[in-house]
A and B are shown apart, each in its own frame.
Chain A
């Protein structure tokens, strides 16, 4: 099993370390053809405007969308979740999201960096309740969801972790907190056991 990490911009290296800690193989993906032969894909945190523009300029957006629609499992954090969204509140002129995940998201919804926060969360990973420190950095907020989106975790009544088919998406950064439970759960999704 090999998991690709989108390596255009963002905290790529932190995800790589988590995959290694979880005993999973990884590779960095920067071009469309590198999406071949991977079993799962990580959309890291970073600047969603930058990543979105680069995906378009290097013709990766369409190929990536096809792959995900065809069933490529995806783990997305923060900016990655923004990129997957169907709709973005205020800011669709800056980003064209892939439009795969049935959520509406608001960028920087909690404020600026001064308002970034850490908070203990409980998340539901395939029926198991796990505790994780949610690290929210200039985080987006899922303001609406529909069509078969399962909510795996909430904060102040908004979903902060969702699952739809083989996609798991978070508005916080599991790569910045301790443990690899989220990555192990992703492995189970790839194997088809959840």
Chain B
């Protein structure tokens, strides 16, 4: 009888670690995001399939300095979101904004009452045309970028609208960086 018990003990031991390996990176990502949604950061970290997500989790856990290192490495590998996050970190963007920017990217939307303090995060997350119609101060550094982006999103479906935005950009902000691109593009529209 004793000889039956020993294999039984082996049989019932936990096999979860093997189960994790059988998931594809996309599936692990989905699980990680769900765990982040539930604020179960430790479990999410063990599931995270890439450095971008690991860095995001660390930032959400307030381990920002450690998170930056992961984000930087992920950006080096060509991840544009990581790079945007890295820029925002260097622009000393408000922490709450940063966290919600991450949540927004992971489709974990902040509650409806939340509004971003940083114009940079607002620019990266919101629809440019609606930002354009909002009452932003005219001297906002980001205004030329918002106008340009409003033009770009209409480039294929409504070139006339793009033309209109680009003309406003060139007239109102002729020396801005987006105006250089708009000026070049306008001749083909």
The judgment on whether A and B are partners is no
Residues of B participating in the A interface, judged by any CB pair closer than 8 Å = none
Q: Which A residues contact B (CB, under 8 angstroms)?
A: none
